[in-house]
């Protein structure tokens, strides 16, 4: 599975890294004050985070988010005097991970979360680290695979899709939109005929297909959604580090710099909490 960061240039990233320098600690409380960071991940099965097996048959996690987290760990190790211990916890889905973030069970959430205004009001958001496609989901025996084909019919729309993306979907103006915050209910309503189809994000599409007998089609000519890390409000110092790691990953990829993956396999191994 090919990893894809947001497109940029090596020269631009060199300027960005030079301008940013080492993240500067703020004189306000930070989750990094105790040198221990609890990170929540979701096996979304898309390029952001997915399971792989090493040569010994052991599970480890790979993708954009693990790459960024390992880069952040490596950069912290080289820049800070005291070691920051990373602890990883793996949620079943985005909803469970958000509940952990809300209760403080995790301090940084990586789960292919899209950049939403509602998230910006509740959490600290990182810079965009990647993009994801949108998908049309409907019954397998249905031959329709575009929104335009569902004129005047009820269509589910995931709450994970920003309003700007929804407004630019071809054919969306001619369907009856029903917004869903629960991906399980969305899939159930397609199966039971409450709605004819639904539009969702890539992680939601994989979740739906793993539990149902539905089909999915990537929506072409539709703007992709931007993905971000989430933390509690006010965690500016932590997000400086996340953004620094994102920029460093862009630069390393542009320059063809690679690192050994053994540390990633060790630190991101397993699937339990």
Tell me the domains of the chain and their CATH numbers. Answer: 10-131+225-267 (3.40.190.10), 134-218 (3.40.190.10)
Could you report the average pLDDT of every consecutive run of 10 residues in the chain (273 residues)?
43 47 66 89 74 78 85 87 88 92 95 94 95 92 82 96 93 95 94 96 89 89 92 92 92 74 48 42
Model pLDDT, residue 28:
62
Model pLDDT, residue 267:
53
Model pLDDT, residue 205:
92
Model pLDDT, residue 273:
39
* C-alpha to C-alpha distance for 34 and 171, rounded to whole angstroms: 51
* C-alpha to C-alpha distance for 135 and 96, rounded to whole angstroms: 22
Model pLDDT, residue 185:
95
Copy the structure tokens of residue 152: 């005047």
Model pLDDT, residue 137:
95
Model pLDDT, residue 46:
64
* C-alpha to C-alpha distance for 31 and 54, rounded to whole angstroms: 32
Model pLDDT, residue 207:
87
Model pLDDT, residue 251:
85
Supply the pTM of this predicted model: 0.80
* CB-facing half-sphere around the CA of 5: CA atoms within 13 A: 21
* C-alpha to C-alpha distance for 69 and 64, rounded to whole angstroms: 9
């Amino acid at each position: 599975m090919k990893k894809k960061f947001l497109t940029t240039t090596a020269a631009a990233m060199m300027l960005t890294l030079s301008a940013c320098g080492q993240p500067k600690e703020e004189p306000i409380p930070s989750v990094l004050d105790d040198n221990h960071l609890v990170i929540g991940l979701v096996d979304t099965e898309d390029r952001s985070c997915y399971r792989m097996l090493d040569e010994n048959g052991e599970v480890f996690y790979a993708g954009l988010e693990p790459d960024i987290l390992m880069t952040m760990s490596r950069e912290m190790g080289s820049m800070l005097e005291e070691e920051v211990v990373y602890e990883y916890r793996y949620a079943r889905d985005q909803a469970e991970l958000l509940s952990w973030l809300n209760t403080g069970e995790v301090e940084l959430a990586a789960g292919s979360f899209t950049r939403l205004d509602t998230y910006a009001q509740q959490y600290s958001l990182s810079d965009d680290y990647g993009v994801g496609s949108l998908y049309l989901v409907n019954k397998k025996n249905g031959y329709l695979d575009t929104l335009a084909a569902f004129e005047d019919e009820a269509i589910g729309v995931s709450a994970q899709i920003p309003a700007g993306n929804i407004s630019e979907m071809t054919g969306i103006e001619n369907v009856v939109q029903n917004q869903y915050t629960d991906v399980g209910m969305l899939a159930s309503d397609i199966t039971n005929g409450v709605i004819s189809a639904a539009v969702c994000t890539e992680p939601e599409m994989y979740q739906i297909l793993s539990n149902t007998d539905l089909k999915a089609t990537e929506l072409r000519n539709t703007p992709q959604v931007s993905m971000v890390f989430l933390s509690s409000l006010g965690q500016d110092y932590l997000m400086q580090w996340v953004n620094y790691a994102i920029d460093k990953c862009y630069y390393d990829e542009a320059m063809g710099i690679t690192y050994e993956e053994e540390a990633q396999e060790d630190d991101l191994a397993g699937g339990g909490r």
